[in-house]
Structures are given as C-alpha cells and as structure tokens.
Amino acid sequence: MPEATATRKRRFYGLLDKLTQSSGPASKPSKTSAPTSRPTTSGGVTSNPRPSTPSSHPSISSPRPSTSSQRPSISAPRPIRPDRPTTLATPGAPPPIPRIPHFTPWSHEDFLERLKTFAPVTSWFPKPEGVGEVEWAKRGWECVGNETVGCKGCKRRVVVDFTINGIGGDDEQAEDNVDESEEEAEFENTFEKALAEKYAEEIIKGHSESCPWRKTGCKDDIYRLPVVRTAWWQDTVRTSFTSVLEIKEDIENLRIHPISASPPADKLLLHIPPIFFNPNATPRNNSVLSNGSVDDPSVPSDEIMARALMIALTGWHATCESRTNLLVCDACFQRIGLWMYQSKPSTSPTTIPAGTSPLPTTPSTQSTSLTPAIKSVSFGPSPPSSPSPTSSHPPLDLLASHREHCPYRSPSSQAATGDYVGFPAWRILWTTAARYADEQRRRSVAAKPGLGMGGLPGLGLGMKEGLSREEVARLDKERVNKLRRLKSALGIKLGVPRRGGGGREGEGSWV
C-alpha cells in the first residue's frame, strides 16, 4: 500500500514537472514503473495525449492489492497535448504582427501600394500600352527587382525585358546602309509588339494554377480617386495647400504653365473661408488671402497663395528629401524638382542631389490645347517668351508632369461617371472646389448683407467681397427675380384676389 501511494505521487509530480518545464530535459522514469512502459518521443512526452489510469490500462499499472481498486484514485491534471504547445507572453515584447492577406482585389489602398513599387525609374522603365505597371498591379504583381515583377501569394516571378541585344548586325554597317537601318527599325517594332502580346498573357498565366490572382483581378475603376467625396477632397486640398506654403521661397519664383480653369485660383480664394485651411482661424477674417498684410514676412502674399491652391488642385503636394524641395503626386508617385523651373536662384536652403536627371516636361496632347485663363496674377497671361538665364527648361506644366496613367491626367484611369464622364481628376476636383466656394459666397451674402468685413458696419457688400459694380447689379437682379418667383408661387398656392371690392388693384381678400 505505501509503495503504490508513492508511485502515484512520483507520477503526479512528474506530470507537474513536464508542465512547468516544457523546454527542460525529460524526467527519468522511476525504477518502480512497469517494464512494459509506453514509448516516448524525443522530448520526453508520451505519444498518447491522455494520461494512463488504473481503470483504463490495468495491464500496465503497477501491482497493487485488490483493496486499492475500491479507493478513490488521486486525480491528476490532464497534460497538454504535444501538438498544441503553450507559449507564455514575454513582458515588454512587441505584439505579434497580424498577417496581411495578399489577395485583395477590392482594396484601392493595396493597389496603390503595389503600384508604388514601380515608381523608381532605376527598377522599372516605361512599357508599351497594355503591359504597363497599372496592368501588372491590377493582377497582384509588384516590382521586386530590376525589370522583375513578383506575386506575394504564389511566389512566382516574371522578368519583363524589352531590350533587344544583338539584333541588326554591326552598328557600322547599319550607319553605312540607310535601307538596312529602316528594316532594322521595322523589325524592332514588330519584335516589340510580339513581346507586348506575350507579356500581356503572362500577366494572368504567370501566376500559379492555385493563385487567386490568376482567376480574378482588380476592377477597371480601381484607380479612380474619390474627388467628389467631401471629406476626401477637402482634407487632400487642405494638406497639400499647407505643405506648399511651407516652401513659399521656391513657389514665389516658380515658372508655371497657365491652366485653363474657371474660376481662377485667386478668385476661388476670395470666397473660401479661412477655417477651411486653418480650423483654428478666427472668424473675423473673411478671406484666406492676406488682405494687404505685406509688412509681416511670415504671411504669404496673395500671388503665392493662389499658386499654392493651383498646385493643390492639380494633385501635387510639397515635400523635402535630402534638403531638396519637391512636388510629389500620391496617385502616380511622380516627383518634380523645383530647382529646374526657377526664374531666379531660390533663396530656400535646398541642394540638388548628385546624379539627378531632369524629369520630362514635354506637354501632352491634353495640355497643348489649353488657353490662358488666369489674368489676375503674374503667371496668367502667357508663359515667358524667352527662357530664363538661370534655367533652360520650359515652364512647369502641372498637368503634363503627371505620369500618363495618373487619374489627375488620364480620364480613362479616373473612369468617372455621371456628369463627369470623360473628365480627369484635376478637372473634377477644380469644379468641386468652385462649387464649394460659390456656396460659401452665397451663404455670406445671405447671412449679413448690411455688414462689412469682419462684421463691422460701414463697409458695403461690394467692398467686403471685392465685387465690381456690374457684379453687384447682377446679384441684385438675381435677388429680385427670386422674390418675384416666390411671390408667384405663393399666389398659385393661396389663390387669387376676388374681383370687386374697394381698394387698389391687387388688394382684397384671398380665397
């Protein structure tokens, strides 16, 4: 009897040791255990997850008197299964990183993250139509190396190389024979088209058979920007406008190509309240413009603020990398160095990085038909007739500087619907901001028509908003027409005055 009790205790403490010392060496079997013990694994844990009990395995239990079966056995805690080890959290350790799914064809953010990997020109060169970075990103591919795309789901890789090496013979012979050079050019074009068709198939067939990207890709409108969503466009314009004002030294001397947009940026700023750009602004200021605060150097001039709004409405925001001020687009990830478009040396502490090549500034077919529309600021009438002595580059074209597939430039990438079909994102954003400014103007006119700037009497409405006599007369005419329409509508609903009765025409009781 004492020997059986001691055996149970040793087994009980042995199980406790295995629970508390899972990483330690296995405990040695006791000398009193039966010779026909169960096989153990290398870690010392029995292969059977359930502990042995005298009732279930009487053949392997230690010999005991017959009276021991009538006594209640000591209940031992159930050991943890080997295939489910418990890991104790280490204090101060970082939380585990959640696993991000690779197949998200509905996510606009994930699509932009994949498209961003194609942005460095050192890794990905422009490709023919149909096999560009947008088509690869829509099918789950991202740039993982020099002219190489990869899928995080199926781990496949495809090398997209359009270089033709060793075709056409010796260069000296090609220079001597013009006809042969033309034949080589035609052959290269045919070869490039064949490669484009082959790589277009690899966009889908490059995935493994079990990869979900092989069956389904992103929708055609995945690149669309929500420029008509109030929260999105206001936050985007506000952030971009503020970032551009931080590099006002470079913006002041920036040569900008005119943009055909109505109303111009300086007119929009007259009616946009300052709380739009600065939530902490005082309501005493009725316009975001400086209104003559020229003595304070920290306050940007009206021209700089108009330029900043123009840059923000065309999809750019300012950033600084390696002490160099740049304009960056978050949709196509294009970057513009402002030092190339300065009319005079910039006063900002910026440096040109070594080995930087100028970005292409050739206007596209979309921007060549634009006519000057902004006449109230210095960059409105026309671009400079002669290049600046400090720079040989043409003026900065804010539209053509976007990549060809950017929604701010390409109507097909924006894929707008409704009233904005065929419009690029910048045009829709400008129209949305113009409607917002007109709404704010109407509210300010209807709220306090007799008060001037800042709610102080003595300043008329025209002086408050900077309106001309013709504009004030037009507003008065619109107001009179509204009153007439309202009177006519009330007369139809309430009836007409009775005929007869005394008084002048139009007086009398109503039906």
DSSP string, 357-401: PPPP----TTTTT------SSTTSS---SS--TT--SPPB-TTTT
Element (H, E) at 308: helix 302-313
SS3 category, 503:
coil
Clarify whether residues 167 and 272 are in a common domain: no
Residue 133 has pLDDT above 80, yes or no: yes
Clarify whether residues 333 and 404 are in a common domain: yes
Clarify whether residues 205 and 167 are in a common domain: yes
The residue from 84, 116, 138 where one domain ends is: 84
The residue from 16, 50, 84 where one domain ends is: 84
Domain-embedded: residue 101: no
Domain-embedded: residue 485: yes
Q: What is the mean pLDDT of residues 149-161?
A: 92
The band of 503, judged by pLDDT with boundaries at 50, 70 and 90, is very low
The band of 98, judged by pLDDT with boundaries at 50, 70 and 90, is low
Clarify whether residues 247 and 392 are in a common domain: yes
The residue from 430, 447, 478 where one domain ends is: 430
Q: How many domains, the chain? A: 4
What residues contact residue 141 under an 8 Å CB cut-off, 6+ apart?
114, 149, 150, 151, 158, 203, 206, 213
Q: Is pLDDT larger for residue 355 or for residue 277?
A: 277
Sheet holding 148-151, edge to edge: 141-145, 148-151, 157-159
Tokens (6 digits) for 77: 């805690």
The band of 428, judged by pLDDT with boundaries at 50, 70 and 90, is very high
Domain-embedded: residue 102: no
Q: Is pLDDT larger for residue 312 or for residue 62?
A: 312
Domain housing 23:
1-84
Clarify whether residues 359 and 393 are in a common domain: yes
Domain-embedded: residue 440: no
The band of 424, judged by pLDDT with boundaries at 50, 70 and 90, is very high
Q: State how far the Cα of 125 lies from the Cα of 147, in Å rounded to an integer.
A: 7
Residue 185 has pLDDT above 50, yes or no: yes
pLDDT digits (tens, 9 = 90+) for 383-420: 344 444 444 678 999 999 999 999 999 999 999 998 89
Clarify whether residues 248 and 352 are in a common domain: yes
Clarify whether residues 406 and 478 are in a common domain: no
Per the CB < 8 A criterion, the answer to whether 256 and 398 are in contact is yes
Domain-embedded: residue 193: yes
pLDDT digits (tens, 9 = 90+) for 199-244: 999 999 999 999 999 999 999 999 999 999 999 999 999 999 999 9
Residue 42 has pLDDT above 80, yes or no: no
User: What would you measure as the largest C-alpha separation in the chain, in angstroms?
Assistant: 129
pLDDT at 278: 79
Clarify whether residues 298 and 403 are in a common domain: yes
Global pTM reads 0.59
Q: How many CA atoms lie within 13 A of 238 on its CB side?
A: 14
SS3 category, 420:
helix
Clarify whether residues 257 and 349 are in a common domain: yes
- The distance from CA 270 to its chain's CA centroid, rounded to whole angstroms, is 29
Q: Where do we find the tokens 């954003």?
A: 429
Q: What percent of the chain has pLDDT over 90?
A: 36
Per the CB < 8 A criterion, the answer to whether 80 and 88 are in contact is no
Residue 16 has pLDDT above 50, yes or no: yes
Clarify whether residues 164 and 303 are in a common domain: no
What residues contact residue 68 under an 8 Å CB cut-off, 6+ apart?
1, 4, 54
Clarify whether residues 170 and 236 are in a common domain: no
Phi-psi region of 410 (alpha: psi -120 to 50; beta: other; left: phi over 0): beta
Q: State how far the Cα of 489 lies from the Cα of 18, in Å rounded to an integer.
A: 90
DSSP 2: H
Clarify whether residues 272 and 154 are in a common domain: no
pLDDT at 413: 94
